[in-house]
Amino acid sequence: MAEDIQHSQKSNFNGLTKSAKAGASKKLVIKNFKDRPKLTDSYTEDTWMKLRDAVSAIQNSTSIKYNLEELYQAVENLCSYKVSPMLYKQLRQSGTESLDSLSFLKRMNRCWQDHCRQTIMIRSIFLFLDRTYVLQNSLLPSIWDTGLELFRTHIISDGAVQSRTVEGILEQIERERNGETVDRSLLRSLLGMLSDLQVYKDSFEQRFLMETNRLYAAEGQRLMQERDVPEYLHHVARRLEEENDRVISYLDLSTQKPLIATVEKQLLGEHMNAILQKGLRMLLDENRVCELTLLYELFSKVKGGLTALLQAWREYIKSFGGEIVSSPERDKEMVQELLDFKDKMDHVTQRCFQRNDSFINAMKEAFESFINKRPNKPAELIAKYVDSKLRAGNKEATEEELERILDKIMIIFRFIHGKDVFEAFYKKDLAKRLLVGKSASVDAEKSMLSKLKHECGAAFTSKLEGMFKDMELSKDIMIQFKQGKKELQVSLFQTLVLLMFNESDECSVEEIRAATGIEDGELKRTLQSLACGKARVLNKTPRGKDVEDGDRFHFNSDFRHKLFRIKINQIQMKETVEEQVSTTERVFQDRQYQIDAAVVRIMKMRKTLSHNLLVSELYNQLKFPVKPADLKKRIESLIDRDYMERDKENPNQYHYVA
């Protein structure tokens, strides 16, 4: 075909030249050198521009704007000035430029469009034949199909023509991928031609996918080195959008799936681990919601993408959370940091990961893993955090906000294994709040108890509920107790002390201690609140802020206060190291009793059991972490107390002693 096109152009040009020459010989021949135009750079340039336009019009089969005789005379004038070498060189260069890939594609498209128009015209003439004879003979192709077959056989099947057409299309697509503007209608027409001629897949698609794979493989390697992860993710999304747009604009729809799969493989599949290692922690640390959403969407398109993202997500939570829990210097802020971290991760799963159940479950597993790497301490700190929120004077939150905080705390509480440690510290703090009247809200206290009961069962909260019953009874008694002009709001201990002054105007510390039975330290703090505070119901002798043995107290008959209802605050002592140790020791002692009870219960049911099976049963029944050495000590203790005995022949076998 290429040779035919060139031969046609050459014949046309020769014909035009002869016509121009003949016309010139008849009409315009300049023989006198003086009559010729003066040779200047401007004249030479203008003349060549006209000649080049004429050549281009001839090559593109369009009308020529200039008179052929004038063009012929212009060439003769330039040659007479001995610029023939330059003129010939420019003419040859113009011919070469006209044969570039884009020009070839345009000519091929014109050839295809002309052929289609001609075939349609011929078919319209022979329409009756096409709808009768041809239609009745199934072995005969229709007139339209015959036209396609002729074009395919005589033009597109030519190796050089087909190769140059495909190469040209691929070149235009590569230019567009590099940011240049191309003629999409031309590409759509030519690719439609290949599809109509049924050579699209064999001649074009395979080459196109190979070039796409090569391009994006190199681009992925380069950009992973040059750009940070957010930029790279946006680039990948833009590339996928561009390729989908190409399918809509000019590619065959059947190319979409393999094309997008190729882009995803080279830009994402080959770099999944590098993307996660290089950028996931940064995206999560900086809470880049947009990029995290894009990361999830892109990885969901690639085989194994979500699995890799899930594993990296789990490891990030373990690492970040482990740093919070394992650092003693961060203990004061540990619980708040855990709550904030949980909120942040929940936000990511909901906004970025489409509430994927796998990611939610992985987050729960990760929290449970890192929060129990430091035994007991998180449980203790959570109990103290609850105490700080339920204590009177906490103005940080309304009742609704406090309820939401308690719900969040319960989520963290679920991850803890040593819940008995939480119970011990929570019970101690609750007792202090109730006894000294420091509870912010009874409704909030009962709400927290309800949550714990729902989570751990009635046995877990029975003692705590008993405290409230005692306090309600005390409250009823206090309501019945009223004085002539002032109403004092006092604690139980303060009440016991004041009741003594109904019988006597003056009492010593020793007399008060003997009558009330209040522990010494608590008694001194109670007397301080009554005799050394702002509202001094009692007078102390000798005067001073501290209460010592031998001090005497008498009722302050001159007591005056502007308020009718007076609240006398109890002086609260801060928790000491000894109290912390005592609480921990009490937890340890309670665990020993539970282990003993579990061993006896199992042996009573099984009668005879090996050491390993007994230990396995104990691990299944006990709800707190315990070391094998501790279990062995409790077993030895029960043997010493004749609850069970070793087998005489096999020391690893135990028998229950009835």
DSSP codes of every residue in 4-69:
HHHHHHHHHHHHHHHHHHHHHHHH----SGGGSPPP-HHHHHHHHHHHHHHHHHHHTT---SS-HH
Structure tokens at 531: 């005799």
User: Where does the pLDDT of residue 173 fall: very low under 50, low under 70, confident under 90, or very high at 90 and above?
Assistant: very high
pLDDT of residue 393: 64
Has residue 184 got a pLDDT over 50?
A: yes
| Residues 552, 555: Cα–Cα separation, whole Å | 11
Positive or negative torsion for Cα 200, 206, 208, 212: positive
Q: Which CATH number, 1.10.10.10, 3.40.190.10, 3.10.150.10, 3.40.50.10470, labels domain 577-656?
A: 1.10.10.10
pLDDT of residue 25: 40
Radius of gyration of the chain (CA): 48
Q: What is the mean pLDDT of the chain?
A: 85
Range scoring the smallest mean pLDDT among 207-221, 381-395, 400-414: 381-395
Domain 375-480 in the same topology as domain 41-88+99-157: yes
pLDDT tens-digit profile of 293-303? 999 999 999 99
What are the distances in angstroms from CA 623 to CA 418, 419, 448, 606, 620? 8, 8, 21, 21, 8
Average pLDDT over residues 42-56: 78
Average pLDDT over residues 398-411: 88
Range scoring the smallest mean pLDDT among 26-35, 163-172, 551-560: 26-35
Domain boundaries, the chain: 41-88+99-157, 375-480, 487-567, 577-656
Residue 541 pairs with which residues in a beta bridge? 552
| CATH code for the domain defined by 41-88+99-157 | 1.20.1310.10
Q: Does the bond joining 542 to the residue before it have cis omega, within 30 degrees of 0?
A: yes
pTM over 0.85: no
- Considering only residues 471 and 198, tell me which one the structure prediction assigns the higher pLDDT: 198
pLDDT tens-digit profile of 106-136? 999 999 999 999 999 999 999 999 899 999 9
pLDDT tens-digit profile of 61-73? 667 878 888 888 8
* CATH class of the domain comprising 487-567: alpha beta
- Give percent of the chain with pLDDT exceeding 90: 47
Contact between 118 and 151 under an 8 Å Cβ cutoff? The reply is: no
Q: Which CATH number, 3.40.50.2300, 3.40.50.150, 1.20.1310.10, 3.10.520.10, labels domain 375-480?
A: 1.20.1310.10
Range scoring the smallest mean pLDDT among 186-195, 281-290, 458-467, 625-634: 458-467
**Which residue bears the tokens 């001995």?**
82
Range scoring the smallest mean pLDDT among 29-38, 137-146, 577-586: 29-38
pLDDT of residue 400: 84
pLDDT tens-digit profile of 273-290? 999 999 999 999 999 999
At CB < 8 A and 24+ separation, what contacts does 197-203 make? 197/148, 197/151, 197/152, 197/156, 198/152, 199/152, 199/156, 199/162, 200/252, 201/254, 203/162, 203/166
Contact between 287 and 297 under an 8 Å Cβ cutoff? The reply is: no
Has residue 238 got a pLDDT over 70?
A: yes
pLDDT tens-digit profile of 483-525? 476 677 788 888 888 888 888 888 888 888 888 888 888 888 8
| Residues 602, 619: Cα–Cα separation, whole Å | 12
pLDDT of residue 572: 63
Beta carbons within 10 angstroms of residue 637's beta carbon: 14
Structure tokens at 225: 């080195």
